[in-house]
Amino acid sequence: MSTIRRNTLLAAALVAATAGVMTEREASADVRIRIGGSAHIRVGGGHHRARVHYRVRRPAPPRLRIKVGGAIWIGGGVSYGRPRYSEPPPPPASCDCDGGSYYPVVPAESSTAIYVAPSRPRLPRWGVGLAAGGVDVQGQDAGDDLALVGRMRLTPGLLLEGEVGKNELADGMRVDRRLGASLIYEFGAYRRWAPYAVGGMGVSQVDVGDGAYETSQNFAEVGVGLRLAVTPKIHIAADVRAGARTATEEAQPIEAQYRMITPEEDESEEYTRARLSAVLYF
């Protein structure tokens, strides 16, 4: 039952209850009825006045509050409950693209620079040259030394050298002709200046007094030197070598004037030699 209807019935009941009083009073009595938030009934006239005051307060209707959290999404964008909004798009990424578009951002292709070291030029393999210097035997006899050399490069720093040479002692009274082979290792073969080590061996033929005495000797030597590359194909080198020579044949009778420069059969001769060489490579 609605509130208005209930108030109307209540007011009607009050009017019926006061009907007898109204019959005994003057006709000038008036009735005032107010229906609303409150009800007032007033009966008056002459010397007798009846006043009825009744106030009806409408009870506050109960409030029904239903709160549903979250949201239900059905299909393409229909939601029930509290409206929710999609997350905003991410800020545009910095891009120097020609097209001017920034979303979606297409990652740029990454490139990695690979450094390739330039290959070194190949060193020349074959070489031929001349060598000249001096020789000293047993600290007494000194002479000149001359040789023809040939080289083959086995590795960038390792070379094989062949030598055909001759040295003269005692103003040409003794002539030694030799045939030898050596290994040379250059430290820093690609550099302009390169120190090197050398070791070799071979045989020599001794001629004293223009054929008055002849014999053969074996020799071995070691040394150090320094090489200068004037151009990639022209090298100049200087080295010092020390070695020993031993006679391989029985000593022959010889005149006294030649005995001091003749090698002994059972003794070795120690010698040193210094030389300057120039080699052309191809």
The verdict on 146 and 25 lying in the same domain is: no
Q: Give the end of a domain, one of 38, 54, 70.
A: 54
Q: Are 55 and 39 in contact (CB under 8 A)?
A: yes
The verdict on 133 and 269 lying in the same domain is: yes
Is residue 239 a part of any domain in this protein?
yes
Is residue 106 a part of any domain in this protein?
no
Residue 154 CA: distances (Å) to CA of 129, 157, 161, 186, 241: 18, 8, 10, 12, 22
The verdict on 148 and 246 lying in the same domain is: yes
User: How far is Cα of residue 163 from the mean position of the Cα atoms in its chain?
Assistant: 50
Is residue 195 a part of any domain in this protein?
yes
Is residue 20 a part of any domain in this protein?
yes
Domain range holding 217?
A: 126-281
Q: How does pLDDT run along the chain (282 residues), one tens digit per residue? A: 555 566 666 666 665 555 554 444 444 444 454 545 544 445 444 444 545 555 556 656 666 565 555 555 555 544 445 556 667 777 766 655 555 454 555 556 666 777 666 788 889 999 999 999 999 988 777 899 999 999 999 999 999 999 999 999 888 899 999 999 999 999 999 999 999 999 999 999 999 988 888 889 999 999 999 999 999 999 999 999 999 999 887 656 677 778 778 887 778 899 999 999 999 999
What residues contact residue 159 under an 8 Å CB cut-off, 6+ apart? 127, 151, 152, 153, 183, 184, 185, 186
Structurally, how many domains does the chain consist of?
2
Q: Is 33 helix (H, G, I), strand (E, B) or coil?
A: coil
What residues contact residue 133 under an 8 Å CB cut-off, 6+ apart? 144, 145, 273, 274, 275, 276
Is residue 264 a part of any domain in this protein?
yes
242 forms bridges with which residues in the sheet?
222, 272
DSSP-derived secondary structure letter, 181: E
Q: Is 19 helix (H, G, I), strand (E, B) or coil?
A: helix
Q: Is 56 helix (H, G, I), strand (E, B) or coil?
A: coil
Q: Are 180 and 156 in contact (CB under 8 A)?
A: no
Q: Are 124 and 282 in contact (CB under 8 A)?
A: yes
CATH number, domain with residue 131: 2.40.160.20
Is residue 93 a part of any domain in this protein?
no
Taking the alpha carbons at both ends of the chain, their separation in whole angstroms is: 126
